Structure 1
């Protein structure tokens, strides 16, 4: 059964109340006690995430890391987000929430409806949580923008468009061709 988000709830939401919502049809995240609700991703978005997850899986396992789609990631008390993909070190696979200190890279696939959240809000929270790498993928063009954490803020490390190759060496070693992630037109 899918949970319904109560409209008469008073601010702020606790983590316990947030987790008690269970599974919902929408993507629901908690930012400092405030719920942020977005629609389920499009098939294009899901295809990009799925292809990238498959590309990262073996290199992650080779380094003793794990790649996950849409996990609950606690950035700090009262802030639990759901990145599109997350590479983590060892975690308890039965915990409902993964602590941010286990995340090595987070990835968000941006679209017009969520670009500001991914490029500003989440970028700020991921940096504040100390996550070393942040990858943004434009769902329409396939452009990959990799950021690295430097002095508690992200700096652009690489921008790669279809036809070029993103060569990751941290947290895993892998080459990613943006066009290989995109569905056919």
Structure 2
């Protein structure tokens, strides 16, 4: 395993990015630049795990699959790693997946850089055609579900503890944020 923190700053091609292999950090490729993030906090991981558990039966019933942290090629030279995804069938031996398999991408807002998840990734996911985008903000204790409308997202639903989020696409499930947020 290579540590991305020791990689030189320079312009990276997609093949060079893929040659890095597995690392202890989360690395995304954006137009020749590497974006390196540390492993998510325990609270972040708790939400992602509970979300996956809450959706497991609905995802299976819909004939879809759920994952945490897959490399998704939004376009050549632009690979992102959403916190949680619902996809169609994938080849489990691949290391990068085309955006066409993604039905829902979810980002759990990082307190150090909320604009990345709330604005930048939203823009790129919409541009790439991901039908549904879920943004979970642990600090605000809110969930916002967006549906693709043309090349932009429109808010479809929101939720907070005690006010569940009801999804009908890409899976049918009701989730109360209170069940997913870490204990205080």
Q: Does 1:44 align with 2:43?
A: yes
| TM norm structure 2 | 0.95
Corresponding residue number in structure 1 for 2:149: 150
Using the TM superposition, give the Cα deviation of residue 10 of structure 1 relative to its aligned residue in structure 2, in angstroms. 2.6
Q: Does 1:53 align with 2:60?
A: no
Q: 1:49-101, CA deviations, whole angstroms, 9 ceiling, x for partnerless residues?
A: 00001111111111110000000011000011100001001111111111101
Question: Partners of 1:66 and 1:33 in 2: how far apart?
Answer: 30
TM-aligned CA distance change 1:4 to 1:112, over 3 Å:
closer
Question: Partners of 1:8 and 1:70 in 2: how far apart?
Answer: 24
SS of structure 1 residue aligned to 2:21: coil
Question: Partners of 2:165 and 2:23 in 1: how far apart?
Answer: 34
Q: Does 1:3 align with 2:39?
A: no
- Is the contact made by 2:3 and 2:25 (CA closer than 8 Å) also made in structure 1? no
| TM norm structure 1 | 0.95
5+ residue gaps, structure 1, are: none
Alignment coverage as a number of residue pairs: 184
- Is the contact made by 1:5 and 1:21 (CA closer than 8 Å) also made in structure 2? no
Question: Partners of 1:21 and 1:88 in 2: how far apart?
Answer: 25
Using the TM superposition, give the Cα deviation of residue 16 of structure 1 relative to its aligned residue in structure 2, in angstroms. 1.1
Could you tell which deviates more after superposition, 118-127 or 45-54? 118-127
- Is the contact made by 1:160 and 1:166 (CA closer than 8 Å) also made in structure 2? yes
**Matching of residues 128-147 of structure 1 within 5 Å:** 128-147=127-146
Question: Partners of 1:101 and 1:125 in 2: how far apart?
Answer: 14
SS of structure 1 residue aligned to 2:66: strand
Question: Partners of 1:42 and 1:9 in 2: how far apart?
Answer: 25
Using the TM superposition, give the Cα deviation of residue 9 of structure 1 relative to its aligned residue in structure 2, in angstroms. 4.6
Q: Does 1:73 align with 2:87?
A: no
